[in-house]
Amino acid sequence: MKNQKTLCMKLIASFLFCMVFIAILIWINQPLPGEVPTAASQIKFARAHVTELIRDEAKAEDWTEGLRIGVQEVYVQIDSGEDRGKILPAVNYMSAYNNVDLKVGTKIIARMDIDANGLSYIASIPNYNRGPALLGLTVIFVLFLAVFGGKKGIAAILGLVFAIVDIWFLLIPMIRHGINPILSSVVIAAVTTAASLVLLNGLSMKTFCATIGCVGGVAMAGAAAALTAVATPINGFNMSEAEELVLRADGTSLNISGLLISAILIAALGAVMDVAMTITSAVFEVHQLNPELNRQKLIQSGINIGRDAMGTMANTLILAFAGSALNMLILFRIFDYPYLQIFNSDMMALEIIQGISGSIGIVMTVPLVAFLSAFMCSRKNEVDKPVMVVNEKNRKYRKKQ
């Protein structure tokens, strides 16, 4: 009866959370006051494929490493949208940086426009149709995770979907509405962590400890980045795409300066969540195997286990940021910039702050989660111990009778 009541309460709580979450999503994604559709939103794109190659003047150049550049004329059949089924001519201009090399059957994305007579025509061919390949890769990933991860794998998939929804439909609209980006990111980190861990482990003390530890670690990463950004000084205006944001944010309440810390918080979230859950699970497992261990020994066990995770996760963040900035690093080496300028440039400073701040969050998460998990486990021991003693006395008394 008690288990049924507990299950019922959990279902009610989950239902209320979903309803509140959906209501917030609907409200926060409403158009801003005075907002009008952008020019980009009015551009029409359609899936299509090449049916005939009329003229091909593209040639490979030595400096393009085999990529062909030039002009192609083709006939294209539209496969989606209002013009589906139509066959239209198109001219494809290929450069080394926008290189869609067409052959008969090539699947593409066509940018559509309307001429003076109201008829559709293909204005340009900006991209291959990469949707099927990306969808196939995603399906393979989901299948692997579900097959090898079982229920935990399926829960991880749901958690990942929730995180993507959180960022796209909640975090970005919050920032667009003028809510402080740092505060928004902390809220999103807390909600995403809680939801992901509840899906993995249900509502439990283990989930609570990992969630608090993760939020604490992310907050420490943000604090380290904020202090460094003030001392440097550097902020969101130094980031790439800042100029476009400034132009687009004119007349709105978008806070650009806080976007740097916001980006660091979100980037560190996954790694910090991983460490928090690993240490929490380890401490609870050690406690379950040996309930007699005191708080100090549990804390020490958690920290010892976490030391390995510190190194690998810190490397993960540093290498991830290095990979995203690889082109920049190559250019620095090619032009042989002096190290004094390299390490003081905006681009390099941003990468260093992001990588090291995230790593600080990971390192600080380990003792925080170890202490919190050990405290909860030892507290449970203290609560359960008197009951065990009473039961032991009753058992001995019944034996004497």
Task: Give first-to-last CA distance, the chain, whole Å.
Answer: 33
d(CA 139, CA 158): 14
Q: Please state the φ and ψ torsions of residue 21, each to the nearest 5 degrees.
A: -65, -45
* Cα distances (angstroms) measured from residue 353 to each of 57, 314, 333: 47, 13, 21
d(CA 254, CA 60): 45
Residue given tokens 């440039």 in the structure block: 345
d(CA 102, CA 124): 13
Count CB neighbours of 87 within 10 A. Answer: 12
d(CA 268, CA 356): 10
What is the per-residue burial (b if ≥16 Cβ within 10 Å, else e) of 269-297?
bbbbbbbbbbbbbbbbebbeeeeebebee
* Cα distances (angstroms) measured from residue 16 to each of 11, 168, 241, 337: 9, 22, 39, 57
List, in order, residues 6 or more apart from 321 with CB less than 8 Å away.
267, 351, 354, 355, 358
pLDDT confidence of residue 400: 46
Q: Please state the φ and ψ torsions of residue 344, each to the nearest 5 degrees.
A: -110, 0
Average pLDDT for consecutive 10-residue bins of the chain (401 residues)? 71 85 90 77 92 93 88 95 93 92 95 90 94 95 92 90 92 89 89 89 86 91 90 84 76 80 88 89 89 88 84 78 85 88 87 88 91 84 47 46 44
Give the pair of three-digit tokens for residue 51: 């049916």
pLDDT confidence of residue 322: 82
Angle between helices 346-400 and 205-231 (to 10 degrees): 160
pTM of the model: 0.81
Tell me how many degrees the CA angle 256-98-237 measures, rounded to the nearest 5. Answer: 10
Of 122, 149, 129, 165, the C-alpha closest to 49 is 129
In the chain, % helix, strand, coil (3-state, to 5) comes to 65, 15, 20
CB 357 within 8 A of CB 221: yes
SS (H, E, C) 83-116: CCCCEEEEEEEECCCCCCCCCCCCEEEEEEEECC
Helices (H) and strands (E) in the chain, counts: 11, 6
